[in-house]
């Protein structure tokens, strides 16, 4: 029978992380792209990194600071410029979308700032119970920390309501093309991304960034993390209003599109800088004007 010290060695080796230097970007993304074709994005400026990035802590400190300054300044500027929308849209929702709230609140999974090896260890101990509770019930702080250790920090995301108030009476499900739950006004708001304007509040609160991976719901994160290898690596960046995946991939409603999203998010992680952020923001304007990728 192995001694206690040997057992500790086995446990440590089981969760030992492969050295970052041993993995190239193509190797990091191959597990996501092997089952789907990822279109090239030549407009993204590629960085020559000696070591592939793993999470937000891998980014230069000056870039993290400048990114946060842009988030704050940009959010305030957009909120002021879009003041008429804040006034008109709530009135239109009340008049055309039936009973229900104007602002739709939904729990999403945010930044996971813990080390990857620790997260793997926590996830291996519990595969079903490590998602923050979405039933609104309060639990002890120690239990909350254990449950969210392997995933990102949950936060409340704000949107203008685009669906009927009973849209999820049968449970949470992905949005579909020509979704019957979406109101006529909601279709227009989704096409123009007007429904996402309230998320400027999330950006100001530091829960989101203007540019970054799209935040997902806990119930879907749990499901996708089982279907897509190391899906949770995309939580190493603060979620964003827009990003490469949002521009190139549009809305997601199947596993293949989510695989593409992960690959695009990894591409952003490896190449994010102020120049690429500006390119993404400018291309987002084109997406808003043309309605590309809308449902």
The DSSP code sequence of 147-193 is HHTTS--EEEEEEE--B-TTTTTT------TT-TTB-HHHHHHHHHT
Q: Over the chain, what is the mean pLDDT?
A: 76
Q: Where are the domains positioned within the chain?
A: 67-290
Are 212 and 202 contacting, i.e. CB atoms less than 8 angstroms apart?
A: no
pLDDT of residue 191: 87
pLDDT of residue 284: 93
pLDDT of residue 14: 37
* pTM, rounded to two decimals: 0.75
Q: How many helices and strands in the chain, by DSSP H and E?
A: 12, 4
pLDDT of residue 80: 96
pLDDT band at 294 (very low <50, low <70, confident <90, very high): low
Q: At a CB cut-off of 8 Å and minimum separation 6, what does 256 contact?
A: 35, 36
What are the tens digits of pLDDT across the range 213-242?
A: 999 888 888 888 888 876 777 888 999 999
pLDDT of residue 35: 54
3-class secondary-structure state, position 251:
coil
Strands (E), 78-162: 103-109, 154-160
The pair of three-digit structure tokens given for residue 237, joined into one six-digit string: 């960046």
Query: How many angstroms separate the Cα of 15 from the Cα of each of 18, 130, 226, 242, 293?
Result: 9, 18, 18, 34, 39
Average pLDDT over residues 272-279: 96
The pair of three-digit structure tokens given for residue 244, joined into one six-digit string: 């490469």
Alpha-carbon distance of 219 to 239, in angstroms, equals: 17
Query: How many angstroms separate the Cα of 229 from the Cα of each of 21, 96, 163, 223, 258?
Result: 20, 43, 32, 12, 12
């Amino acid at each position: 029978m192995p001694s206690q010290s040997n057992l500790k060695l086995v446990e440590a080796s089981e969760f030992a992380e492969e050295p970052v230097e041993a993995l190239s970007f193509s190797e990091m993304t191959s597990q996501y792209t092997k089952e789907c074709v990822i279109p090239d994005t030549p407009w993204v400026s590629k960085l020559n990194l000696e070591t592939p990035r793993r999470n937000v802590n891998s980014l230069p400190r000056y870039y993290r600071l400048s990114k946060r300054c842009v988030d704050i300044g940009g959010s305030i500027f957009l909120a002021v410029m879009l003041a008429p929308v804040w006034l008109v849209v709530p009135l239109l929702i009340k008049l055309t979308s039936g009973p229900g709230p104007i602002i739709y609140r939904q729990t999403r999974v945010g930044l996971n700032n813990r080390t990857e090896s620790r997260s793997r260890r926590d996830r291996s101990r519990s595969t079903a119970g490590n998602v923050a509770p979405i039933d609104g019930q309060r639990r002890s702080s120690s239990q909350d920390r254990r449950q969210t250790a392997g995933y990102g920090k949950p936060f409340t995301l704000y949107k203008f309501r685009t669906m009927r108030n009973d849209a999820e009476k049968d449970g949470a499900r992905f949005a579909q093309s020509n979704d019957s739950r979406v109101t006529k006004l909601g279709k227009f708001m989704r096409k123009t991304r007007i429904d996402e304007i309230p998320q400027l509040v999330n950006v100001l609160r530091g829960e989101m960034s203007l540019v970054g991976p799209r935040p997902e719901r806990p119930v879907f994160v749990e499901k996708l993390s089982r279907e897509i290898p190391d899906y949770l690596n995309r939580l190493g960046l603060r979620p964003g209003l827009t990003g490469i995946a949002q521009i190139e991939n549009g809305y997601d409603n199947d596993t293949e599109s989510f695989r593409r999203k992960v690959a695009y998010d990894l591409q952003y992680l490896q190449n994010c800088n102020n120049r690429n952020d500006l390119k993404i923001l400018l291309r987002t304007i084109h997406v808003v004007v043309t309605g590309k990728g809308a449902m």
